[in-house]
Chains A and B, each alone.
Chain A
Amino acid sequence: LAKTTQPISMDSYEGQEVNITCSHNNIATNDYITWYQQFPSQGPRFIIQGYKTKVTNEVASLFIPADRKSSTLSLPRVSLSDTAVYYCLVAEANQAGTALIFGKGTTLSVSS
């Protein structure tokens, strides 16, 4: 199982860019990196997913270096509504199925 390590918490102010870094030293060749956002008492919401280099969508960017042992989720110009728990996952994918292994995530607090 590829484990991930990310900061327990981060604080930011509205309008700032937030970068959350995750380390996954034991990532396997077939594994890909996925980030989810979760608000209290709601299901996790898919943010972004990537295998290598850079991926960007309308919500965030994901930077993955060549060795793939870490990744960085970048949230541009955060707002109060971005206050949530962010999970970095390395999906353990095989032909028997894919189990998402969640850690405790990073609690992001955005203040005005």
Chain B
Amino acid sequence: DAGVTQSPTHLIKTRGQQVTLRCSPKSGHDTVSWYQQALGQGPQFIFQYYEEEERQRGNFPDRFSGHQFPNYSSELNVNALLLGDSALYLCASSRQVVAGLAGVWTDTQYFGPGTRLTVL
């Protein structure tokens, strides 16, 4: 059973360019979250996708956008790259759990290996 996979592993871009990162969730998972991790810092939440819609978003500009496909895989797009966008981009997958009257909740998130983006 494959875990969360991400591609590419490494990427080098120049300022102003656009980049697309890809994530395939763990089997049985339907929710994908994206995180950015700068060197020496903890991961920062970018957004979460479920049922092909953005459900929740962190404090990131509109240059960061995403998409989720019917097979639950996801893409993260970053436009007009800045030097400060250099980071490890992490994808985490999870599943939604129906908790009776409490509604639908997100279960444990499992992370992929990440994509190392370098902006020159």
Name A residues whose Cβ lies closer than 8 Å to a Cβ of B: 34, 36, 41-46, 49, 87, 91, 93, 95-105
- 1/0 per residue, CB under 8 A from A, across B87-111: the answer is 0101010100000000111101111
B residues near A (Cβ < 8 Å) are 4, 31, 33, 35, 40-45, 48, 50, 55-56, 58, 88, 90, 92, 94, 103-106, 108-114, 116
* A93 partner residues in chain B, CB cutoff 8 A: 105-106
Determine if B43 and A96 form an interchain contact, defined as CB atoms under 8 angstroms apart: no
10 nearest CB pairs, A to B: A102-B42, A43-B111, A97-B56, A98-B106, A97-B55, A99-B45, A97-B48, A95-B103, A102-B43, A44-B111
In whole angstroms, what is the CA distance A101 to B44 when docked?
7
Determine if B108 and A46 form an interchain contact, defined as CB atoms under 8 angstroms apart: yes
Q: Is the CB of A99 within 8 A of B56?
A: yes
**Can you report 5 A-B residue pairs in the complex whose CB atoms are below 8 A from each other?**
A43-B90, A46-B110, A100-B33, A100-B35, A100-B43
